[in-house]
Structure formats: C-alpha cells, structure tokens
Amino acid sequence: MASNPSPVQIRIQGLEKSFGPKRVLDGVDVDIARGEALVIIGGSGTGKSVLLKHVIGLLKPDAGTIQVDGVAVETLGNREITEFRRKFGMSFQEGALFDSMTVFQNVAFPLQRLTKMSRGEVRDRVEECLAMVRLEGVGDKLPSQLSGGMRRRVGFARAVAHRPEILLFDEPTTGLDPVTTALIDEVIIDLSGRLECTTLTITHDMESAFRIGDRIAMIHRGKIVAEAPPEEFRRLEDPRVQQFIHGRADGPLTDETGPPAQQVGPTGGEGPRTI
C-alpha cells in the first residue's frame, strides 16, 4: 500500500448517475477524512444507497469520480476491484445475510474468501467478531431465527471480520425500535473506535446520525446540500435541514415541484410531487 496518510481517504467529485430518465445523483461532492465518521442523511429515494454502492464499485458513475486513497474506483477492472474491496467492510440494509448459511458460516465467509486463515484462526476471529457486536453464542443459528436487530449486528460482524480500513453502513437502523437503534448505534461507535476505521453511514434516522457522526452531510435531489459537525448541523438555518431534522411534512423538501432544477426530474422523495 502506498503509505501517504493524506487526511482525505475518500474523495467524491461531481458524481452523477441516472437510471433511465431518472437522475438519482446530480453532482455529489464530498470528502471523507481518514478515521472520520461521516453520516449522510436524506429522504427515501434521494440516492443515498446509490452513492454508497458507487464508493465500493458496485455501480459505475455516469460522470464524476470517486477516489479512495488516491485510486479512482470507476477505472478499476474486474480483478483490481476485487483487490480494492479488501479495504472495505459493508453492512447492508436488513443485513443481507446468506440465508442458507448459519451465523457462523456467514461471518466466516469473508475470511475464507479474502484471507488465508486456517480453520482455527477463522473460528477464533468469528467468535471475536460476534463478541464485538455482543452476540456470543448464536453461531449455530440460521439468520431466519434471529430478530431484525440481531441480523444487522451479524451483518456488522461479517463486515468487520477481515479487518477492513473503511466501513460502510447502509441504513443500519431502519425499521428498528428506538432501544435496538440505540444499541446498534453504540455497536457502530464501538466498532469504528476499536478498529480505527473510516466509516460512512447513510441513514434517515436523525437521532442515530447525531450519535454516530463526526460530521453530517445532507443529500437532497442528488446533491449534497449541507454538511457540518453534529452540533453545528443542528443549528444550520437551511430550511431543508430544519425540515428534515424536525420531520415536518410541509417545507422546502416536499414542495419543490417545479423550480429550481426542472431538468433534473423526479428524484423520489417522500412528499406529494406532480411530475
């Protein structure tokens, strides 16, 4: 690895992506420093997940670039991208656990695929990772036997098993009760602290965004519209930010039917929209 500990580890510039006529990302610019925990918030269908999938090379941008440690992700070929992805651990919405495998096999999977560990080392590491997410002793269970919160945590254990430098969390708390959400947030903070990872989390849960993030950025209509550390973010005067933080149905997020960006087309969003 070229060791140049530049403060910026992930740099996203002018990222654009459309699906058919629908423009999902419309020039996203954001930097993430090494060791930082960035949380990106935004309504459903604002392209948050799409952004995350670009960072790890599951999607290719139409325009713009994503650089991770100075390497442009979109230029990597099939082989290089496999190597590149070792840096990452990704936790998916709902966990995305392999439902034909036990919890143990799920967490062991990246170790068998990405490392040359022996059986014993794999077993130790899996147990260690399950302990980190506070799930000792569930190794023999199938994902279908676990609760939603437990499945997410198994997903975290699987994501961190091979000791990645960067952790990506896709809506880690969506659909969970407040207590479980708080627990998940704690686990995330704990993991990123202990493993000294850079983390990028996307969520629409403001509570957990404030808890997890060193810095919060808001995405709306395919662009980053605000970014600041949590305390500052809370006080931002941007009406869109305030509407989102306070979860109001009326406001600029929901009534931008026409201007200012007519050519952009509908980017989803919760509110009523007449296009």
Partner 1 sequence: MRLPGPVEGFFTQMGRFVQMIGRVFAWTLRPPYDWREWLRQMVRVGVDSIPVVFLTTLFTGMVLALQTFTTLRRFNAENFVGSLVALSMVRELAAVLSGLIVAGRAGSAMGAELGTMRVTEQIDALEVMATDPVHYLVVPRVWATTLMLPLLVGMGNAVGIAGGYLVAVVLMGANPVAYVDNTFQFLELNDLFSGLIKAAVFGFLLAVIGCLQGFYTTGGAEGVGRSTTSAVVVASIAILVADFFLTRLLF
Contact range with partner 1 by CB under 8 A, out of 105-113, 119-127, 229-237, 250-258: 105-113
- CA nearest neighbour of 37 among 151, 208, 180: 208
175 touching partner 1, by CB under 8 A? no
114 touching partner 1, by CB under 8 A? yes
Contact 111, 125 (CB under 8 A): yes
CB-nearer residue toward partner 1: 184 or 253? 184
74 touching partner 1, by CB under 8 A? no
Phi, psi values for residue 141, rounded to 5°: -80, 155
88 touching partner 1, by CB under 8 A? yes
Contact 243, 66 (CB under 8 A): no
End-to-end CA distance of the chain: 48
Interface residue with partner 1, options 42, 64, 92, 125 (CB under 8 A): 92
CA atoms of 60 and 17, how far apart (whole Å): 8
80 touching partner 1, by CB under 8 A? no
Tokens of 195: 């493993």
Measured from the Cβ of residue 65, the count of other Cβ atoms closer than 10 Å reads 15
44 touching partner 1, by CB under 8 A? no
CA atoms of 218 and 233, how far apart (whole Å): 10
Minimum distance, C-beta of residue 244 to partner 1, in the bound complex (Å): 25
Question: Please, where are the H alpha helices in the chain?
Answer: 48-55, 78-84, 103-114, 119-132, 148-160, 178-195, 206-212, 230-235, 239-246
Minimum distance, C-beta of residue 82 to partner 1, in the bound complex (Å): 5
Contact range with partner 1 by CB under 8 A, out of 67-75, 106-114, 185-193, 253-261: 106-114
96 touching partner 1, by CB under 8 A? yes
Minimum distance, C-beta of residue 248 to partner 1, in the bound complex (Å): 29
CB-nearer residue toward partner 1: 104 or 233? 104
**Which residue type occupies 127?**
E
Q: Which residues contact 67 (CB under 8 A, 6 or more apart)?
A: 10, 11, 12, 13, 73
97 touching partner 1, by CB under 8 A? yes
CB-nearer residue toward partner 1: 85 or 220? 85
Rounded to a whole number of angstroms, the CA Rg of the chain reads 19
245 touching partner 1, by CB under 8 A? no
Interface residue with partner 1, options 58, 71, 131, 249 (CB under 8 A): 58
82 touching partner 1, by CB under 8 A? yes
CB-nearer residue toward partner 1: 171 or 185? 171
37 class by beta-carbon count within 10 Å (0-12 exposed, 13-18 middle, 19+ buried): buried
Minimum distance, C-beta of residue 272 to partner 1, in the bound complex (Å): 23
Contacts (CB under 8 A) with partner 1, residues 153-172: none
CA atoms of 192 and 85, how far apart (whole Å): 18
Measured from the Cβ of residue 101, the count of other Cβ atoms closer than 10 Å reads 14
Minimum distance, C-beta of residue 84 to partner 1, in the bound complex (Å): 10
Q: Which residues bind partner 1 (CB under 8 A)?
A: 53, 56, 58, 82, 85-86, 88, 90, 92-94, 96-99, 109-110, 113-114
